[in-house]
Structure 1
Amino acid sequence: MAHVSDDRRSIFVVGSSRSGTTMMGRILHRHPTVHTFHELHFFEEMWSPGTDTFTDRAEAVDVAARLLHLQRDAGYLSHDDDSSDHRADAEALIENGPPVPDGGPLDVYRTVLFREAAEHGAQVPCEQTPRNIFYLETILRRFPGARVLHMVRDPRDVLLSQKRKWKRHFLGASNIPLTEAFRSWVNYHPLTIGQLWRASVQAVEPFRDHPRVRTVAFEEVLDAPTATVREICEFVEIPFHEQMLSVRQIGSSNQEDCPNQRGIDPSRSGNWRESILSDTEVFLCQSVAADPMETYAYEPANVCPNPVVLVLSALLFPVKLGAALLLNLQRMDNIWDALRRRFR
């Protein structure tokens, strides 16, 4: 099987969910040479180990159409799976792309990224799906020109954001359906969030010294935006533009969207200290994430969990974990591989 080797520059923004990946994608999107995509969720939903080839041309067209739909219609948020409107474009893309079946899903994915970026007058595609952090080995190997930005954030701020994520529908993101808000509520448990944060930072550990991987702290962007974004631009090999900092203030789980306000809001750091999280929630999160918290210099808080609430949380954990698994089954092509990467 002959896969396409392509060393054109691309950017992948990865990290634990609610760690600033979307904000970084918006910052990069304001550069004239970069086009940032919606979350495509290609890995796990359209590709998993062992599914690197197509049996026929129709499968390749299906993947291309799904990717175009997700990008052009923000279908991942709307949960609208109808990609038929993009079938003709997908046919043309496959016709002019890597040969099928010699090429595979990753080749179609790459072709969509660069074709769509070029359609918007940009040379560098930027993919910002957080879960791509679990597929760094594949990304670095199959995208030899890629630069990876790993966003890391205090796990307790991540916990707070995840706890309130279900409210995004009511804070300005009306395009998020209520079913997605419910899924976000079910997904939340401090042990689950702590483990997912831990798994994401552990997934990048083997690549922390890789020349094409850079870790960026969310707090660093908020505290020194100009200096940090300049360094990021140098890393991804694009010139810094002041306009990159003028991002819309939307997407927070803690406050209503302010799309008419621009700039990087430093108040989005450290909100977990405002007693919105209980001591028990903080204790459970810190217990799971202790070692990598030390690695990234996030100081543990001295908290005293409520024994009754602690027991109730422990009893509720398998219930919420099972419900979350059921609600997320359709998002994983290979459920056991996806779980292994998160809970190993």
Structure 2
Amino acid sequence: MTDLGYFFVCGAAKSGTTWLQRVLDYHPEVQSSGEGHFIERFSVPLAQLLRDYAKHMGVVSRLVYEGTPFYPPVAQADLDRLVRSFILDRLKTRPLKPGVRWIGDKTPRYTHGLQALLRLFPHMRIINIVRDPRDVAIARMHHARRSGVSEQVAEGTRERLSFIGAGGHAWASPAIGRAARAGGAGGIGKILRRPDARQRLCLSDQAEPFCFRAARTCPMVRRWHRH
């Protein structure tokens, strides 16, 4: 157990993070779970709770004990210890497969919490998946239809353009787009400069993103889509 390595999968929404998590989980030495949302749904709210607690304890120290309290102030190390312990416990709630060497979690928004993860797990590995934003736009529209909000992507509506533009700007945000900028030449660079306009160009009837062509030829992906 002490020899386990830890990793976290992240990326823009609808970039294939769930697909990547499942692929990793198929490996006999890897256990990949999701979505833990350990940073934005646990660490960040807990940090605010501890700040409020520390503020209250400061008032108690000043008014009751004349500045000499019994308890020391809450430090960053205290928060990190609590969060790390919680994450480790959650990761290990799944029975470990025999021979597992790496254990991890995928949550797309870890892109916004990398510094916190690095502080908690200095020797961790981060896997950031970057998908062509044109494919992301198509996937987001399919997801909207499956989720029962098809009116947001109805053909010829302002809501559709707004929906596409919001996804494009999110994809190109500093937290997500940095990795793509480092290796994104040609068309990707143009998309990053104008994500909303460029994504509209790919939504014609002729557009057929690579991800859907691959889904028809990959048996593993076909099985997941059936489920």
TM-score bin (small chain): 0.5 to 0.7
| Amino acid aligned to 1:151 | I
Report the counterpart of residue 165 of structure 2 in structure 1. 191
On the 8 A contact 1:55/1:101 being kept in 2, the answer is no
* Residues 255-266 of structure 1 mapped to structure 2, 5 A cutoff: 257-259=225-227
Paired residue for 2:74?
none
1:20 and 2:16 are equivalent in the alignment: yes
Q: Which of 96, 116, 128 pairs up with 2:93?
A: 116
Deviations 1:108-161 (A, max 9, x none): 112321x23544443422211111111111212211232111111111111111
Work out the number of aligned pairs and report it. 164
- In the other structure, the counterpart of 1:129 is 107
Q: Which structure's CA Rg is the greater one?
A: 2
Kept in 1, the 8 Å contact 2:25–2:31? The answer is yes
**TM-score, with structure 1 as normaliser:** 0.39
Pick aligned residue for 2:39 from 33, 43, 68? 43
- Residue identity (%): 24
Counterpart residue type for residue 196 of structure 1: A
Q: Is the 8 A contact 1:7 1:146 kept in 2?
A: no
Query: Aligned partners of 1:250, 1:37: CA distance in 2, in Å?
Result: 19
In 2, the alpha carbon distance for the partners of 1:39 and 1:150 equals: 15
Residue in 2 aligned with 1:153? 131
2:32 and 2:114 mapped to 1: Cα distance?
Answer: 19
Alpha-carbon spacing, 1:31–1:183, altered in 2? closer, same or farther (3 Å)? farther
Q: Is the 8 A contact 2:39 2:116 kept in 1?
A: no
For residue 247 of structure 1, give the secondary structure of its aligned residue in structure 2: helix
Quick one: distance in 1 between partners of 2:163 and 2:80? 44
Distance verdict in 2 for CA 1:158–1:102, change over 3 Å: closer
- State the shift of 1:7 in Å: 8.1
Distance apart, 1:102 and its partner CA = 8.3
Q: CA deviation at 1:250?
A: 5.9
Q: Give the CA deviation at 1:42.
A: 2.2
Where 1:126 maps in the other structure, the secondary structure is strand
For 1:111 and 1:258, the matched residues in 2 are separated by 32
Higher RCO (CA-CA < 8 Å; seq separation 6+) = 2
Task: Measure, in 1, the Cα distance between the counterparts of 2:32 and 2:151.
Answer: 26
Structure 2 vs 1, CA of residues 43 and 147 (structure 1 numbering), >3 Å: closer, same or farther? same
